[in-house]
Structure 1
Amino acid sequence: MTAFTGTARLTRLALRRDRVQLPIWILSGVALLAATVSSTNQRYPSDADRIEVLRTAVDSPTLLMFRAAPTGSSTGTMAMFQILAFLAVVAGLMSTLAVVRHTRQNEETGRAEMLGATVVGRHAILTAALIVTVIANAVLSVLLGFTLVGNGEPASGSFAAAAAVGATGIAFAAIAAIAAQITQTSRAANGIAAAAIGAAYVVRGAGDALGEVQANGYTMVSAWPSWLSPIGWATEVRPFAGDRWLVLALPLALFAAGTGIAFALTVRRDSGVGMIPARPGPTRAAPRLLGPLGLAWRLQRGTLYGWAVTITLTGLTVGSLGNSLTGDNALPEGAANTINSLSGGDDGNLIDSLNTAMMGFMGMMAAGYAVQALLRLRSEEAGGPAEAVLATATGRSRWLGAHLTIAVAGALALLLLAGVSMGLVYGLSGDDLGGELAKLTGAALVQLPPALILAGFAVAAFGLLPRLTIGLAWAALAVSLILGQLGELFELPQVVRDLSPFSHVPALPAGELTVTPLVALAAIALTLGAVGMALFRRRDLAL
C-alpha cells in the first residue's frame, strides 16, 4: 500500500457528495458571465459608449477597487473589466469550500477516521479533494470559454479569460489545503481561506487603483501590488488585450507549492488534530458563559470582528470619494446613468446615487454576516455540541434565540459601522459632518429589514430542512445579490428583481424614506424566524 492508495475511490465518493453543490457553483458563474456579456452589448453597443465609461473608471479609485483596471474598449475587455475579478472570487470560494469539506470537515465529523481504518493511504483523502476541485475548475473554465465564444468573442481571449478564472480557483484550493492542515475545525479553515480570498481581492484592487493611465486615457497598467494577488494574476492575463498565457504559470506554481506543503504537513500531525492545537480554556468559565446568550456571543464574536473590519474599511474607502465626482471630476453621462441605475434614486445627485448603490452592498454584507452566524446552529447540531447543551436545562427556543439575537444585533452593529464610517469620511471632506453622519447612518439602517429576511430564511431552513440549511441559506444570499443589486445592470424584468428583499428598500439617501415597505419586510423576517423556531422545536436533532 502506498500513501495514495484508495484515491480513485475517494474521488468518486467526493464527486457523488458534491453532485449538487459543485454544479450550482459552476452554473451560477456561467450564468453571471452570460448576463454580464449580454448587458454589456445592450448598454454599451458602440466603441464610443464603452470608451466614455472607461475614461470615467480610470479616474475613480473606488470603481477600480470593485472592478479591475480596464485594458481595452472591445466588448470582451469591457466585460472582463466588469466581471473577471468577481468570477475569480467565485472560483476561489467554490474551491476552498470543496477542499475543506473533503478534508478538515471529514476529520471533524469522524468520517476520516472511518476511512483511515480501511485500505486508504495517508495522502489519499487530500489528493481526492484536490482532484475534485481541479475537475470542477476545469469544467467551469470550459463552460466560461464556450459562453464567451457563443456570444461572438474571439476564442483566444475567451479561453484565456476562462483559464485565468480556473487557475485562480485551484491556486486558492492549495491555500485551503494548507489551512485544513493548520487548524482543528472546518470553520477556522474556511475562515482562513475566505480571508485569503478577501485579502487577494483588496490587494488586487489597490494595484488597479494605483495603476498608470495610458496615453489613450481609458486603459491602465496595474501597479505592482496586483502581482502579489492570485486574483491580480487573473486580471494580468489581460484577456482580449494581449492574452498573456504565461502569467498562468504563477497560480499553477502556487498550486504546486501549496500542495507540496499540505502533503508535508499531513505526515507531521495526527488525524483530527491541526498543526496549531486547540488552546485549553481557563479552569473556571466566566459567569456570562453560564447562559446560552453568553455562549453564543463567545462562539460568534470572532466572526463579527472579521466582518466589522471588512465593512469599516469598505465604508472608509467609499466615503473617501467625497466631492471627487463634482466639478472638474464630474462623470460623463453614460457612467452617471450606470451609477443611477444601480441606486434606483431619483434626486439627481450623483454622490447620493453612488452612496445609495454602495449602501445596498453594505446591506448584503450585513446579511452575509447574519447568515454565517446562524449557520453556526447547523454546525453545532451536526457536530454534537448542541446535543450536550440541550441536554441541560436550556430549552431549544432559548438556544436558538440566543444565536438569533447575536446575529440580529451583529447585523445592526455592522450597518451602524458602515453608515458612520462613510458619513465620517465624506462629511470631513465637506462642511456638514453632522448632517452627513445622520443621513448616511439612516441610509445604512434601512438595509436591516431585508438582511433580517435572509436571516429568517436561514432559521426557517434550519427548522424544516436541517441537512440542506447551509446550501439553501447561501443560495438565497447569492440570488438576492444578483437580483437585487445587479438586476438593473443585467436588465432583468422588475418582477424578477422583486424576488430580492433588497429591491423593496427605500433608495436612501438618493430617494425618499417610505416606512411601509420596511414594516412589511420586518414582518416577513419575524414570521420566517418564528416558523423556523416552531419547526425546530418539533423535530429531532439531525446529524
Structure 2
Amino acid sequence: MSRFFALLGQRVRRDWLQILLWAAGTGLLAYASYVGVADAYGTEQDRTSLLAAALANPVILLFRGLPSGVGEGAFMVFLIFPWLAILAAFMSTFLAVRHTRGDEESGRAELIAATPAARSLPIVATAVHGLLANVVLGALVAGAFLAVGLDAEGSLLAGVAAAAVGIVFLGVGLFAAQLMRTSRGANSVAVWTVMATFVIAGIGNAIGTPSDDLTRMRSSWLAWLSPFGWGENTRAFDENLWWPALLCLGVGVVLAATAIALASVRDLGGSFIAERLGRAEASAALSGPMALVWRLTRGAVLGWAVGGLLTGVLSTSLASIVQEVGAANPAVEEILRQISGEGSLDQGTVTTFFTMLGVLAACCAVQIVCRARQEEAHGTAEPLLAAPVGRVRWLADYLVVALIGIVFVIAAAIGGAALGIAGQDGDWELMRTVVVTGAGQVAAASVFLVVTALAFVLVPRLTIPLGWTLVLVAMVLGLFGPLFQFPDELVHLSPIAVTPMVDGDAVDVRGLWWLVLATGVGAAASLALMRRRELTAAG
C-alpha cells in the first residue's frame, strides 16, 4: 500500500499545475457562462425564443447540449455542458497516456517495473490519479453553479456528469495506451474518439424528437452511443436523472479494468497494434530535414484536413436550412442573427463554422510544433542536429510544415464548402464569404503556431500544455464570447474572433494586419532565440 501511495504522490507532484489549470479553467467557464446567460437571456421569453431556434435548426444542436426546459439552470447547461465535458475528456485522455505509454517511451516505466511496485501498480495509480483529477474538476463545476445561486441537486449533478464523462475518457486513454506503440498514436486514438463521440452526440440531439412547446428535446438513439449523450441526458436542473452519470462511471471502470488486464499480459514497450514496418531504404522524397518533418507529421495533417473538409461541407449544406428556418419564423431569424452576427443568415452560418475551422487549423499547427518538443525530449532530435543541420533550420522546418498544414486544413474546408453548395444546388455567391473567412483563419491559426514556437524556445517543458491551453482559451473567447455577452476587448483577444469578414459588397479586414504582424514577429523571434538555446531533455 505504501508503494501505491508513493506512485500516486509522484503523479500528483508531476501534474498538480496542469490539473489545476484544466479544472479551474473548466469551473471558471461554468461560472462565466452563467453570468453571460443571465445578462443575454435574462427573461423566459428570451430563453424560449432561443430554444425554439435550436430545436428548429440542427446547426445549433451540433455545438450545444440537449434542450431541457427554459429554467435558468437547465438553459445554461444546454448551452455549455458539452464544452465542460470535452475539457474533462481531454484532461483525462492526456493524463492517462502521459503516465502510461509516455512513461514507457521515456524509460520511467522500466525502472519502476524493476522495483517491488512491478508492472500493474503504476497503471492502477494512474487510474486513481485520473479519478481524483475528475473529482476536483466536477467539484469546481458544481461549486461554480452553487456560487451563482442555482439549486444544490442540479449543481451537484452537473458537476458529477462532467466528471463522469471525463472518467469514461480516462478509461479510453488507458485502453488506447495499451493498443498503440507510441504515445503519439495513443493520443491520436483517444482524441479522435473524443471528437467522434462529441459529433455523434450532437447529431443524435439534432435528429431527436422535440416537445410540442419547443422547449425540450428527446435524444435519438444515436446520442446514446456517446458518453457526451449520456452526460447530457442527466438533464441537470430539470429531471435530475442520476443513472446516466452512473452509466458513464460504469463504462469508465470497465475500460480502466480492461486496460489494467491488458497491461499485465503484454511486454513492456510492446503493444497490441504493431507499428507498420518502414522501408529498408529511404525514398528519394526523404532527402532532407524538412522532408523528415513532413514524414513525421503528415498523418496528423491528413486527420485535421479531413475535419476541415467535413466542417466546410456542413457550413454550406446547412446554411440553406438556416435560411429556410429564418424565413419561416421571424423570431427564429432574430435569434439566429444574434448567434451568428451581422449579415445574411447563410453568411452567418458559414462564419460560425469557419470560426470553428480556425480552431482545427490551430490544433494542427500546435500538434506539429509539439512534435518537435517530443523529438527533443525523446532524444531523437540530437542525432539529427549532430549532422550538418542547425537548430534554427530544424525549427524553421517545423514552422514551414505547420504552415503548410494550416493551409491544407483551410483548403480542404473551402473545397468541402464548394461540395456543400453543389450538393444543395445553393448560391455560389456564398463562396466569396467562404474564401474570405477561410483566408482570415489562416492568419489566425498562424498566430497560435508562432506562440507555441516561442513557448518551445523559451519554456520547452511547458510547450505542450501551454500550446493546447492557449487554443482552448481562444476557442472559449471566440466561440462563446459573443453569445455570453463578454466585453469586446476580451473577445478580441482571441485571434479567431478578429479575422476578416464579408460586409455587404466590401470586406472588413478587422484585425488582419495585427495577426500578420504578430505572426511575423513571433516567427522571427522564435528562430532568433533558438540559435542560443540548448537541447532540453524530458522533465
What TM-score, normalized by structure 1, do the two folds share?
0.94
Q: Tell me which residue corresponds to 1:389.
A: 384
Q: Which amino acid aligns with 1:466?
A: P
Shift of 1:49: 1.3
* Runs of 4+ residues deviating >6 angstroms: none
Equivalent residue for 1:522, pick from 511, 516, 525: 516
Distance of 1:427 and 1:445 partners within structure 2: 21
Q: Tell me which residue corresponds to 2:285.
A: 288
Q: Tell me which residue corresponds to 1:9.
A: 6
Distance of 2:385 and 2:109 partners within structure 1: 27
Judge conservation of contact 1:322–1:426 (CA < 8 Å) in 2.
no
Q: Tell me which residue corresponds to 1:308.
A: 305
> CA offsets, 1:447-482, max 9 Å, x none?
111210110111111111111111221122122222
Asked if 1:187 corresponds to 2:201, the answer is no
Asked if 1:40 corresponds to 2:37, the answer is yes
> CA offsets, 1:307-340, max 9 Å, x none?
1111211222232223223356437666555544
Equivalent residue for 2:408, pick from 409, 413, 423: 413
Judge conservation of contact 2:319–2:349 (CA < 8 Å) in 1.
no
Structure 2: stretches of 5+ with no match in the other structure: none
Q: Which amino acid aligns with 2:323?
A: T
Shift of 1:483: 2.2
Q: Tell me which residue corresponds to 2:110.
A: 113
Q: Tell me which residue corresponds to 2:424.
A: 429
> CA offsets, 1:235-294, max 9 Å, x none?
111112211111223212212211221111112212122222333311111111121121
Equivalent residue for 2:532, pick from 524, 527, 538: 538
Q: Tell me which residue corresponds to 1:483.
A: 477
> CA offsets, 1:209-252, max 9 Å, x none?
11001122221100001111111100111112211111223212
Q: Tell me which residue corresponds to 1:241.
A: 238
Judge conservation of contact 2:316–2:346 (CA < 8 Å) in 1.
no
Judge conservation of contact 1:58–1:69 (CA < 8 Å) in 2.
no
What TM-score, normalized by structure 2, do the two folds share?
0.95
Shift of 1:11: 0.3
Q: Tell me which residue corresponds to 1:445.
A: 439
After the TM superposition, which of the residue ranges 327-336 and 528-537 deviates more from structure 2? 327-336
Q: Tell me which residue corresponds to 1:94.
A: 91
SS at match of 2:260: helix
Q: Tell me which residue corresponds to 2:465.
A: 471
Distance of 1:300 and 1:275 partners within structure 2: 23
> CA offsets, 1:42-99, max 9 Å, x none?
1111112111110111011121111123111101111111111111111111111111
Equivalent residue for 2:175, pick from 178, 182, 186: 178
Judge conservation of contact 2:88–2:162 (CA < 8 Å) in 1.
yes
> CA offsets, 1:485-527, max 9 Å, x none?
3222232222222322233322236784245842332121021
Judge conservation of contact 1:343–1:356 (CA < 8 Å) in 2.
yes
CA 1:240/1:184 → structure 2, altered by over 3 Å: closer, same or farther? Answer: same
CA 1:383/1:240 → structure 2, altered by over 3 Å: closer, same or farther? Answer: same
Equivalent residue for 1:213, pick from 199, 203, 210: 210
Distance of 1:30 and 1:511 partners within structure 2: 42
Shift of 1:352: 1.3
Distance of 1:234 and 1:40 partners within structure 2: 21
How many residues align? The count is 537
Judge conservation of contact 2:448–2:467 (CA < 8 Å) in 1.
yes
Equivalent residue for 1:400, pick from 391, 395, 400: 395
SS at match of 2:186: helix
CA RMSD of aligned residues (A): 2.0
Judge conservation of contact 2:59–2:318 (CA < 8 Å) in 1.
yes
Judge conservation of contact 1:71–1:77 (CA < 8 Å) in 2.
yes
CA 1:342/1:542 → structure 2, altered by over 3 Å: closer, same or farther? Answer: farther
> CA offsets, 1:331-364, max 9 Å, x none?
766655554455553x4x1221222222212112
After the TM superposition, which of the residue ranges 320-329 and 528-537 deviates more from structure 2? 320-329
Equivalent residue for 1:131, pick from 110, 128, 133: 128
Q: Which amino acid aligns with 1:356?
A: T
Distance of 2:87 and 2:511 partners within structure 1: 32
CA 1:452/1:359 → structure 2, altered by over 3 Å: closer, same or farther? Answer: same
Distance of 2:264 and 2:371 partners within structure 1: 30
Equivalent residue for 2:355, pick from 342, 355, 360: 360
Shift of 1:370: 0.7
> CA offsets, 1:515-543, max 9 Å, x none?
58423321210211111112112111001
Distance of 2:515 and 2:426 partners within structure 1: 35
After the TM superposition, which of the residue ranges 284-293 and 333-342 deviates more from structure 2? 333-342
SS at match of 1:324: helix
Shift of 1:33: 0.7
Distance of 2:327 and 2:510 partners within structure 1: 35
> CA offsets, 1:124-174, max 9 Å, x none?
111111111111111111121121122221211111111111111111111
Shift of 1:377: 0.7
Distance of 1:491 and 1:18 partners within structure 2: 34
CA 1:100/1:253 → structure 2, altered by over 3 Å: closer, same or farther? Answer: same
Judge conservation of contact 1:424–1:437 (CA < 8 Å) in 2.
no
Structure 1: stretches of 5+ with no match in the other structure: none
SS at match of 1:508: strand
Distance of 1:98 and 1:138 partners within structure 2: 14
Judge conservation of contact 1:300–1:373 (CA < 8 Å) in 2.
yes
Q: Which amino acid aligns with 1:114?
A: L
